[in-house]
Amino acid sequence: MPQTENLRRAALITGGAKGIGRAICLALAENGMNIAVNYAGSAAAAEETAAACRALGVQAITLQADVRSPEACQKLVEDTAAAFGRIDVLVNNAGITADKLLLRMTEADFDNVLATNLKGAFFCTKAACRFMMHQRYGRIISVSSVVGLHGNAGQANYAASKAGLIGLTKSTAKEYAARNITANAVAPGFIATDMTAVLSEPARAAAEAAIPAGKIGHAEDVAAAVAFLAGEQAGYITGQVLCVDGGMGM
């Protein structure tokens, strides 16, 4: 249900400029939430996403921050709260890959992926919870992956980061449930994004064949799951992992 201007929820989406992040921003804006679009380097794309949110009748701002920095994450949350007077929803979506077979993976390959995908979510969650505790309301959703549940060759670092997000989510859920703060994760499967667009046609066909639904998902499929978990109707759901994978993980 659309919210009146003075009662609008406010959402911060990390990595919100493009792909799944952009789709999440638009889905939450369609549900009447004011939007803070975080980006690392894609300023033009972030502003385009914010403009699309504003066209839906909500306020939207762009905030540059490297989520690997705890100070940057703290400021990111503070700037969101300052702009909208509150922060109700945090979506930990920022993520990178550095795929290599384990024996060829360097310590830097491993550390850089975990620093962005996992530590960034930890920093943002910690900062957001301080505000949400005072509000006695909050929704925290982290974008994990089916890789975090089942592993994948050549992605030890990425799988570890996404599995870690699930553990972080469940622990956060237990710590803050009594404060009316929920924490959940979505685990996308094979989704059409810039990262998957570079796959060869045979690789894409093989991936589709492994999906019971027989097709690759879209960013909007993930965004719909996030929007549900971010909404009022999901208040009794916490500590859960919602797979958006066309049955891939069965």
**Residues noted as catalytic:** 158
The residue type of 205 is A
CA angle, residues 167, 193, 57, in degrees to nearest 5: 90
Q: Are 187 and 149 in contact (CB under 8 A)?
A: yes
Tokens (6 digits) for 136: 């006695």
Tokens (6 digits) for 40: 């690392």
Q: Are 8 and 211 in contact (CB under 8 A)?
A: no
Q: Are 129 and 85 in contact (CB under 8 A)?
A: no
CA angle, residues 215, 152, 123, in degrees to nearest 5: 100
**Rounded distance between C-alpha atoms, residue 198 and residue 134, angstroms:** 45
Query: Which residues are registered as beta bridge partners of 118?
Result: none
Give, in order, the Cα–Cα distances in Å from 86 to each of 34, 115, 129, 173, 243.
Answer: 10, 27, 12, 20, 29
**Rounded distance between C-alpha atoms, residue 119 and residue 37, angstroms:** 19
CA angle, residues 128, 126, 185, in degrees to nearest 5: 80
